[in-house]
A and B are shown apart, each in its own frame.
Chain A
Amino acid sequence: DQQVKQNSPSLSVQEGRISILNCDYTNSMFDYFLWYKKYPAEGPTFLISISSIKDKNEDGRFTVFLNKSAKHLSLHIVPSQPGDSAVYFCAASGVRDDKIIFGKGTRLHILP
């Protein structure tokens, strides 16, 4: 039962353009959402998060948008850089819940 879904296994974007990674969730109890980035042979590293009281959170080139009614969030990277090539995991958690549920990840390729 996939509570967090990343339906695009991979995405290729030209360097300098915008990368948009999408994530859908099914559990309406989720109130906190995170994006992690993972390079090969390394563990995931935290990128950005958003709680349900907001619909947008920005950190430098990274912006996460949350649409609670659609149970959808997206990560925008602008402008995309070669070092952004990695696997991006969407994750979600509920209030007062220690557990984070991860999606399968989307592999982002930034093309020169």
Chain B
Amino acid sequence: DTAVSQTPKYLVTQMGNDKSIKCEQNLGHDTMYWYKQDSKKFLKIMFSYNNKELIINETVPNRFSPKSPDKAHLNLHINSLELGDSAVYFCASSQPLGGISGGLFPDTQYFGPGTRLTVL
């Protein structure tokens, strides 16, 4: 009965390859996110989608392209993988501003288990 699920859990691939990570949430949330946790352990937001529309796009290389076929899914496609892309990628979901918290602050984000990407 997983709330936020990601596949695959582990991904090992060669430099230059193209890969995708899938994320699905069954919480009925309107907003989904992708975070990257790098080797220094920083958890940094990459993208945020609200109801299939991109609302946050941090300084992320164009090789990273999120795709949201519907509001329950936010997939991350990475082209031409580089060594520096090795990290753990977390998907998350929440209600958008105006949700349970009353609108001023973001609601609690629910995270998936993470996908450990290793680029060789």
Contact = CB atoms under 8 A, between A and B. Distances in A.
A104 B48 contact: no
Contacts of B40: 104
A45 B2 CA distance: 13
B105 A45 contact: no
A100 B111 contact: no
A34 B90 contact: no
Given A43-B112, A43-B113, A49-B108, A98 B48 contact: yes
B43 interface: yes
Interface string A80-98: 0000000001000101111
A93 B94 CA distance: 14
B45 A44 contact: no
Contacts of A59: none
Contacts of A102: 35, 42-44
Given A98-B48, A98-B96, A44 B43 contact: yes
B117 interface: no
Contacts of B55: 98
Chain A: interface size category: 20 to 34
Interface string A25-61: 0000001101010000111111001010000000000
B68 interface: no
Contact of A99 (B41, B42, B45): B45
B109 interface: yes
11 contacts: A31-B104, A32-B104, A41-B114, A42-B114, A45-B111, A96-B104, A98-B55, A98-B106, A102-B35, A104-B41, A105-B43
Interface of B: 4, 31, 35, 40-45, 48, 50, 55-56, 90, 92, 96-97, 103-106, 108-114
Given A31-B105, A98-B50, 9 more contacts: A41-B114, A43-B110, A43-B111, A45-B110, A46-B108, A97-B106, A99-B48, A99-B106, A102-B35
Interface of A: 31-32, 34, 36, 41-46, 49, 51, 89, 93, 95-102, 104-105
